[in-house]
C-alpha cells in the first residue's frame, strides 16, 4: 500500500471547503433573481393599480346630474358656404309655388320672383309657370293692381291719381301724364273682348288694349329712376314691352292682363338700362350675370352676417375666383370727374383728386433756376455745340435724340456727333460757371 503523505491529506479537506464555499454563491444568485422577479411583479402590480384608479377618477368626473340639453348652450355657428345645400330644380320650385298657391288661394309676383329670380330675363319660362298655375286654378295677383288698375270702369282715374312725378319731372312728362290720364280704364269683360280681337288680328283692338295700360308702364318705370336713364326713356322702353305683352297675352289662362304685362315691361326696362345706362357699354348677358352675382352676394350677407369673400361667391355660383373678381370690377359704375360735389356750383370731383405728377412749389422753383443756369452755361459754347447738346439731352422738348438722328440733322456721321458732344462737355466741366450746376447734384 502506498503511503499517503501529510500534504495530500491536508489538501482534501481544503477542496471540500472550497466546494462548500462555492455553493452559497449559487444560492445567493438564485435569491437575487427571486428578489428581482418579486420586485418586477410588485411594479407591474402597482402599474395595474394605477390604471384602475385612473379609470375610477375618470368615472367620477363625468357630470351625472347635468342634462344634455343644458350642457351645450353654445351659439350656432354661421352657415358655411362649404355646407351648401344643393339647389332646387325648376320642377321642385314650381311644385313649391303650386303648394303655396293652393294653401292661400293665390300667389304674388314677389313670391314668383323669390323662387325664380331670373324669370324676368326669360319670360317664356314665365308663360309655362302661368300655364301650370292656371291648370291648378291658382291666380297670380299683384299688390299694386288695385292702385293702378281699379276695380271697374266706374272708378275714374285722372292724372292726379297717377304716380307723383311732378317733383322731379319736366313739363313734357307732366303733359304725357295728363294725356294718358284721360284714357278710361277697362273692365274685366272689356279686357277679354279686346284680347279675343287681338288674337283674330284686329289692329284697333291691339291699340286700345295698349293705350288702356299706359299708366301701368309709368308706375313701373318710376321704380327704375336713378339708374342712368331719364323717366321718359324708361317709359318709352316700357311701352315696347307693353306692346310685346299685348301680342303674347293668352286670355284663356284666366289672368289679368296687367299682371302678365308687368313682366314684359320690367324686362324691356331692365334690358334698356343694361344696354344704354352705362358710359362703357356692357353686354346684356354680362349684365344678367352681374345681377345674379349681386343677388347671391345679398343672400350670403344675410346667411353669414358679413360680407362674403370672393372665394365664397365663386363656390356658390360655381365659377372661378378670377372670374368673380372680374365681374365685381366691371360692375362698378363710372363717375365723371366734372361731377358737382356738394351744393357749391364751382366744386367738382376733379378738385379733390390728387395729381400724382404734380410738383411742389419748391421743386418748380428749383427746376426753373436749373433751366436758367443751363442756358447761361451753354452760352459759352458755339451755336453748333449748343444745338447738339440740346438735341442729345432733350433740353428743348424733353425728348433726347440718338447720335444717328442728330447726325442726320447736321449731315455728319454719328461718330462725328459723338466727338463734338464729348468736346463740348469737356469745355463745360472746365468752365468756372459749371460749379452752379454741380450744386443741383448734391
- Mean pLDDT for the chain overall: 74
Residue 363 in any domain: the answer is: no
At residue 313 the predicted structure's pLDDT band, cuts being 50, 70 and 90, is very high
* CA neighbor of 279 nearest in space, from 224, 336, 240: 336
Q: Of all residues in the chain, what percent carry a pLDDT higher than 90?
A: 17
* Structural domain includes residue 357: no
Q: Which residue has the higher pLDDT, 331 or 163?
A: 331
Question: Are both 146 and 252 inside the same structural domain?
Answer: yes
Instruction: Write down the pLDDT at residue 418.
Output: 92
- Burial of 147-184, coded b for 16+ CB within 10 Å and e otherwise, reads ebbbeeeeeebebeebbebeeebeeebeebbeebbeee
Asked if residue 229 and residue 268 are part of one domain, the reply reads: yes
Query: pLDDT at position 123, please?
Result: 63
pLDDT digits (tens, 9 = 90+) for 97-130: 777 777 776 777 677 777 776 666 666 666 677 7
Instruction: Identify whether 322 is part of a domain.
Output: yes
Domain membership flag for residue 429? yes
Q: Are 297 and 267 part of one and the same domain?
A: no
pLDDT of residue 82: 42
Q: Is there a domain that residue 103 lies in? A: no
Q: What is the CATH number of the domain that holds 234?
A: 1.20.120.1810
My answer on whether 261 and 295 are in the same domain is no
Count of the separate structural domains present in the chain: 4
Q: Are residues 265 and 298 in the same domain?
A: no
C-alpha–C-alpha distance, residues 52 and 419, integer Å: 101
What DSSP state is assigned to residue 139?
E
**Under 8 Å between Cβ of 210 and 252:** no
Domain check: are 422 and 300 in the same one? no
Residues 307 and 428 in one domain: no
Confidence (pLDDT) at 213: 92
Q: What pLDDT, on the 0 to 100 scale, is given for residue 265?
A: 92
Residue 420 vs residues 385, 401, 403, 406, 432: alpha-carbon distances, Å = 7, 15, 11, 11, 20
Scan for cell 362703357, then name that residue.
280
Q: What is the pTM of this model?
A: 0.48
Element (H, E) at 141: strand 139-141
pLDDT at 220 over 60: yes
pLDDT at 164: 52
Residue 145 predicted with pLDDT over 60: no
CATH code: domain of residue 426: 1.10.10.10
263 and 296 part of one domain: no
C-alpha 272/C-alpha 237 separation (Å) is 7
pLDDT at 7: 46
Q: Which residues are 139's β-sheet partners? A: 106
Q: Point out the least confidently predicted range of 8-17, 312-321, 430-439.
A: 8-17
Judgement on whether residues 422 and 373 belong to the same structural domain of the protein: yes
Whether residue 151 sits in one domain with residue 269: yes
Burial of 331 (0-12, 13-18, 19+ CB in 10 A): middle
pLDDT of residue 237: 92
Same-domain pairing of 273 and 165: yes
Exposed/middle/buried for residue 364 (C-beta within 10 Å: 0-12, 13-18, 19+): exposed
Residue 71 lies in a domain: no
The highest-confidence range among 50-64, 160-174, 331-345, by mean pLDDT, is 331-345
pLDDT at 321 over 80: yes
Say yes or no: 173 and 221 in one domain. yes
Long-range contacts (CB closer than 8 Å, 24 or more residues apart) made by 410-415: 410/384
Lowest mean pLDDT among 78-92, 174-188, 288-302: 78-92
Does 356 reside within a domain?
no
Quick one: pLDDT at residue 158? Answer: 40
Residue range 225-263, pLDDT digits in tens: 887 788 889 999 999 999 999 998 888 877 788 888 888
Of 148-162, 264-278, 406-420, the one with minimum mean pLDDT is 148-162
Range of the domain at 41: 1-45
User: Who wins on pLDDT, 109 or 301?
Assistant: 301
Q: What is the pLDDT of residue 256?
A: 83
Amino acid at each position: 500500500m502506498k503511503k499517503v503523505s501529510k500534504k495530500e491529506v491536508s489538501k482534501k479537506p481544503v477542496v471540500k471547503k472550497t466546494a462548500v464555499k462555492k455553493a452559497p454563491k449559487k444560492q445567493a444568485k438564485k435569491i437575487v433573481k427571486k428578489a428581482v422577479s418579486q420586485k418586477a411583479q410588485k411594479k407591474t402590480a402597482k402599474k395595474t393599480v394605477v390604471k384602475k384608479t385612473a379609470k375610477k377618477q375618470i368615472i367620477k368626473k363625468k357630470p351625472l346630474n347635468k342634462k344634455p340639453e343644458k350642457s351645450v348652450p353654445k351659439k350656432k355657428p354661421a352657415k358655411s358656404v362649404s355646407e351648401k345645400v344643393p339647389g332646387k330644380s325648376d320642377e321642385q320650385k314650381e311644385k313649391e309655388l303650386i303648394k303655396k298657391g293652393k294653401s292661400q288661394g293665390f300667389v304674388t309676383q314677389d313670391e314668383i320672383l323669390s323662387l325664380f329670380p331670373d324669370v324676368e330675363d326669360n319670360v317664356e319660362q314665365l308663360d309655362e309657370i302661368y300655364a301650370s298655375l292656371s291648370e291648378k286654378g291658382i291666380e297670380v295677383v299683384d299688390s299694386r293692381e288695385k292702385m293702378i288698375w281699379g276695380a271697374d270702369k266706374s272708378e275714374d282715374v285722372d292724372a292726379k291719381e297717377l304716380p307723383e312725378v311732378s317733383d322731379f319731372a319736366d313739363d313734357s312728362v307732366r303733359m304725357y301724364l295728363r294725356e294718358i290720364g284721360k284714357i278710361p280704364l277697362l273692365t274685366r269683360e272689356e279686357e277679354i273682348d279686346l284680347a279675343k280681337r287681338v288674337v283674330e288680328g284686329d289692329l284697333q283692338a291691339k291699340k286700345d288694349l295698349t293705350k288702356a295700360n299706359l299708366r301701368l308702364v309709368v308706375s313701373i318705370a318710376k321704380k327704375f329712376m336713378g339708374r342712368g336713364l331719364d323717366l321718359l326713356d324708361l317709359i318709352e322702353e316700357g311701352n315696347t314691352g307693353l306692346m310685346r305683352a299685348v301680342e303674347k297675352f293668352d286670355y284663356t289662362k284666366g289672368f289679368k292682363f296687367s299682371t302678365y304685362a308687368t313682366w314684359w315691361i320690367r324686362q324691356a326696362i331692365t334690358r334698356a338700362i343694361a344696354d344704354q345706362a352705362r358710359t362703357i357699354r356692357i353686354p346684356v348677358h354680362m349684365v344678367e350675370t352681374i345681377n345674379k352675382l349681386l343677388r347671391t352676394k345679398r343672400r350670403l350677407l344675410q346667411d353669414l352676417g358679413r360680407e362674403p369673400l370672393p372665394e365664397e361667391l365663386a363656390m356658390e355660383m360655381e365659377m372661378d375666383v378670377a372670374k368673380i373678381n372680374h365681374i365685381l370690377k366691371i360692375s362698378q359704375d363710372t363717375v365723371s370727374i366734372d361731377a358737382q360735389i356738394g351744393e357749391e356750383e364751382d366744386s367738382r370731383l376733379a378738385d379733390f383728386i390728387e395729381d400724382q405728377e404734380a410738383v411742389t412749389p419748391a421743386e418748380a422753383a428749383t427746376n426753373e433756376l436749373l433751366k436758367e443756369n443751363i442756358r447761361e452755361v451753354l452760352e459759352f459754347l458755339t451755336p453748333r455745340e449748343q444745338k447738339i447738346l440740346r438735341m442729345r439731352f432733350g433740353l428743348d422738348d424733353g425728348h433726347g435724340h440718338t447720335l444717328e438722328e442728330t447726325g442726320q440733322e447736321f449731315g455728319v456721321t454719328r461718330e462725328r456727333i459723338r466727338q463734338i458732344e464729348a468736346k463740348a462737355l469737356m469745355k463745360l466741366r472746365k468752365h468756372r460757371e459749371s460749379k452752379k450746376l454741380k450744386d443741383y447734384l448734391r
